[in-house]
Structure 1
Amino acid sequence: MRLYKLTFILLILLAVVTASCSTQTAPADPPLEGDVTDLAVDFVTKLSEEDFAGTVAYYDANMRQALPESNLREVWEQLLGQAGPFVGILDTRVESDDEYDAVLVTSEFESLVLDIRVVFNRDKRVAGLFFQPAQEHYESEYRLPPYTDTAAFTEYEVTVGSGEWALPGTLTVPLESGSHPAVVLVHGSGPNDRDETIGPNKPFKDLATGLSSRGIAVLRYEKRTKEHGQAMASQMETLTPKEEVIDDALAAVALLRSRDDIDPESIYVLGHSLGGTLAPLIGAEDREIAGLIILAGAARPLEDIILEQYHYLAGLEEKVTEETEAALQDMQLRVERVKDPDLSLDTPADKLPLGMPASYWLYLRDYNPAETAKTLSVPVLILQGERDYQVTMEDFTIWQDELSSRTDVAFKSYPGLNHLFMKGEGPGNPNEYMQPGNVAQEVVDDIVSWLQVR
């Protein structure tokens, strides 16, 4: 049961650290001296030794408010309880931008390898703290799916958008001459890379190479919150899905239209998870998009989906602890605040689900994905894994109920497939995301067949 609860913990940590980005600026602390890598190693070492007072001494003032010593102790104890004892530091690497240096301290626990991401401001004070699966550790486990024919397409490195939010991407184009139909892949929640990597799995790479092996060009790109995560921290108080997802998807479509090897009248948007939920909004913003493909897109309010996931994960535990029960009650209160008519931009982010700001929830308040899809005059393909516990068959049924009268909307669900559209058995659980797999071939086949008759 360890990874079930670890996923639960990581969701809580996301809320804590995001809150630190949106807290009102406090008086500055004196700068720390030394190399940030050495400071990060010292920070993690003190954490592993449970010297919480020494760990907090590295914080800036905002972090002290967001994750005080008592909370840090609780988080660490929960983490050890699920990941197992801390074994040691395996590696470090630094990612920097104009405002922050993020040191990823790859750390081995008994059951998992995690990147402890320690974010330093320019005074070399800790301004953020994240725990995430160590992607480089799992990278060697990925294998291209058997339906990929690497001799059938070529890849180009491209840039989506321009200016401060420009994003690196990969465009796979079939080798056959002429202009090709194309698909833009739009990510789910979180700071995803272009492959939508999770553990050893890369569902967007599977889709891109699989579709391009069958004559369809595919553009995938780094998500803004991945590529510009530290810069976006300063924008957290006003963040909405428009900046997080929609603007960059529209820029990706525009890039494809500018290319001679792409048919400008056959550009489709494929959204997964949150990307699928927002796909109708993307289509509404650009009425020349040829159609939408929605993979595991929620049809219900996002806050309801989050609360449902919390209860599902809690139900996987052998015994619901007081700690878990308290977390469920806390999330219930956060969801109620989102639904409160008095929600305003002044509502603190650390009182809302996942620490996302009020601007984010207000943007989504009146958005109904299925109703928006009804207003579009383009074909839509909606696919759903029946073992998906994150976006469930309840959402799929809503899509069907709202859009089944449309002859240009197709639906299909897949027994045995999870949220990543990968095969598994039994009730869906987060543990399987750490097992190597590929998007099921039947999903790629169905997308190709649907596109070929457009």
Structure 2
Amino acid sequence: MNSLTIEDLKQHAIEFVTALVKNDFASAVSRFDDVLKNALPQDKLKDYWNTLNSQAGSIQQITGISTAEMQGYRIVFVTCKFGWANMDVQVVFNDSGLISGINFLPANDISSTTSTYKPPEYADQSAFREYEINVDTGEWTLPGTITMPVGDGPFPGVVLVHGSGPNDRDETLGPNKPFKDLAWGLASQGVAVLRYEKRTKAHPEKFKAVYGQNCTVKEEVIDDALSSIRILREYPNVDPDRVFLLGHSIGGSIVPRIGKHDTGLAGLIIMAGSTIPMEDSALAQVTYIYSLSGQLTEQQKADIELLKKQVEKAKDPGLSADTPSSELPLGIPAMYLMDLHRYHPAEVAKGLSLRMLILQGGRDYQVTPEVDFEGWKAALAGKENVTLKLYPELNHLFFAGEGRSTPQEYDIEGHVDAEVVHDIARWIIKG
């Protein structure tokens, strides 16, 4: 039996998926055993991967990793968010540490759909009720939930806007449901909350058929957020003059743009919102994840160099809608990047008169305090209606932890930190 540990194999599996993302199929195949090399040579692997991307959308990020053992083989499941679906890349290793099988499967959502949600201590279930609603945006209907405090109100309200990928209304990631934490925690303190299924989650095939490679954040995020704001304003017991918008991750980055569309909002809450271009963020994340294993391997160095070239392509003034997504970081469509290139979150926020609360985890490697949070601080310095707060021990999900944050950390059950929930509730109610 090879001396590689299961942690080594996890890292190898991530490197294999990263090679696919970079369209470096020669590197991917070099990790196969002889049988798999013959069965799935480089050209066939390329076709296999391109077919998956056409069906599921381009990959957004790696969100989790798990393992299993079967008949002497060790299996690593790398869970990925694609544009229109969550998928598990199943990587099977033989006893020599070579890949002897791969498969692409719909992500195992058993933990998120059948397991019992264990509420955080700050959620008082006697203090609120939940009501199922639909968010209608033209031809799109999205199921959602309004969590309403008990009483006559009128209560302040907040709409939650998800991060990247096909998120459900709870922003489920492994065993965790950060948006459910926020909804139950805020409603326990007198704030009504609307959360909804993302369009790419509720209608993945239709979304792909309608937009394909021409999708931008307007179709993916903005239109449905604006519809949700209108619904919450009109909902019984909600104060229409005190409706706020909260965005997490890319949702946080886009919140100022939504605020520019709807100037009647009472305020914006930005949780882990990036201020830098998406391609730069992708390069920083891959570099960080590779650094976790210590000194970079030659293959990792090559992966990073290829990604740097794709980042340069993304920044090329000649970038057009015809640029193949295979030439761009993480296979992101050119139209999506071009749309974001015209938008500068911190500068747009600077031009708004809305109150803003900007929150950042100190252990967040996806949206970093050193770059992104400092970007908000620099742009919004001197604005008296802006509050910024850094939580040193929290990660991208605003869960507490120690040491350097890792992708595997998201597989550990946790909750949005109580201090964060209390800070948001106090800030909303104060306004």
Alignment partner of 1:453 is 2:430? yes
Structure 2 gaps of 5+ residues are: 1-6, 24-31, 53-64, 74-83, 94-102
Pair 1:302-2:278 in alignment: yes
Instruction: Establish whether residue 414 from structure 1 lines up as the match of residue 398 from structure 2.
Output: no
1:367 corresponds to = 343
Post-superposition CA distance 1:299-348 (Å, at most 9, x none): 11111111000100010114423332232122111111110011011100
Indicate whether 1:278 and 2:254 are aligned.
yes
Match of 2:364 in 1: 388
| Aligned counterparts, 1:9-158, within 5 A | 9-10=16-17, 63-64=47-48, 66=50, 83=67, 130=104, 134-137=108-111, 140=115, 142-158=117-133
2:319 to 343, 357, 376: 343
> Equivalent residue of 1:157, what SS?
strand
Structure 1 residue 63, shift from structure 2 partner: 4.4
Q: Distance in 2 between matches of 1:196 and 1:107?
A: 23
| Code of the aligned partner of 1:256 | L
Out of 183, 191, 206, the residue aligned to residue 166 of structure 2 is 191
Match for 2:429: what amino acid?
Answer: Q
Structure 1 residue 162: Cα displacement: 4.0
The change in CA–CA distance for 1:82 and 1:443 in structure 2 (over 3 A counts) is closer
Partners of 1:280 and 1:421 in 2: CA distance = 21
CA distance in structure 1 between the aligned counterparts of 2:118 and 2:34, rounded to whole angstroms:
38
Cα distance in 2 between the residues matched to 1:453 and 1:314: 43
| TM-score, normalised via structure 2 length | 0.80
Measured against aligned partners, the alpha-carbon deviations of 1:244-276 in whole angstroms (never above 9, x if no partner) come to 111111111111122222111111110000000
> Following superposition, which runs of at least 4 residues in structure 1 exceed 3 angstroms of deviation?
1-16, 47-56, 61-65, 81-88, 102-110, 129-133
Tell whether 2:202 aligns with 1:227: yes
Q: Distance in 2 between matches of 1:171 and 1:50?
A: 53
Q: Give the share of equivalent positions with the same residue, in percent.
A: 45
* CA deviation map 1:184-226 (0-9, x unaligned): 1101111111111111111000000000011101011111111
Aligned positions, number: 381
- Equivalent residues of 1:15, 1:354 under 8 A apart: yes
CA contact (8 A) 1:6 1:82 kept: no
Mapped contact 2:170–2:180 kept (Cα < 8 A): yes
- Distance (whole Å) between structure 1 residues aligned to residue 203 and residue 322 of structure 2: 25
**Which residue number in structure 1 is paired with residue 421 of structure 2?**
444
Task: Tell me how large the CA RMSD over aligned residues is.
Answer: 3.3
Judge conservation of contact 1:86–1:108 (CA < 8 Å) in 2. Answer: no
Aligned amino acid, residue 404 of structure 2: P
Deviations 1:427-449 (A, max 9, x none): 11111100010000000010011
CA distance in 1, matches of 2:207, 2:137: 16
Match of 2:354 in 1: 378
Distance in 2 of aligned mates of 1:55 and 1:173: 53
- How far did 1:356 drift? 1.6
Q: Which residue of 1 aligns with 2:143?
A: 168
- Conserved 8 A contact 2:252-2:269: yes
Q: Are residue 292 (structure 1) and residue 282 (structure 2) matched?
A: no
Q: Report the secondary structure of 1:166's partner residue.
A: strand
CA distance in 2, matches of 1:328, 1:418: 24
Deviation (angstroms), 1:366: 2.3
User: For the residues of structure 1 that align with 2:259 and 2:253, how far apart are their CA atoms?
Assistant: 11
Q: Distance in 2 between matches of 1:437 and 1:190?
A: 21
> 2:155·2:190 contact (CA, 8 Å) conserved in 1?
yes
Distance 2:15 2:241 in 1: 43
Answer whether contact 1:182 1:217 (CA < 8 A) is retained: yes
Aligned-partner Cα distance in 2 for 1:256–1:103: 29
| Distance (Å, rounded) in 2 between the aligned partners of 1:63 and 1:430 | 28
Secondary structure at the aligned position of 1:170 is classed as strand
Separation in 2, partners of 1:195, 1:8: 29
Identify the range of structure 1 (136-145 vs 174-183) with the bigger mean alpha-carbon deviation.
Answer: 136-145
1:53 deviates by: 7.6
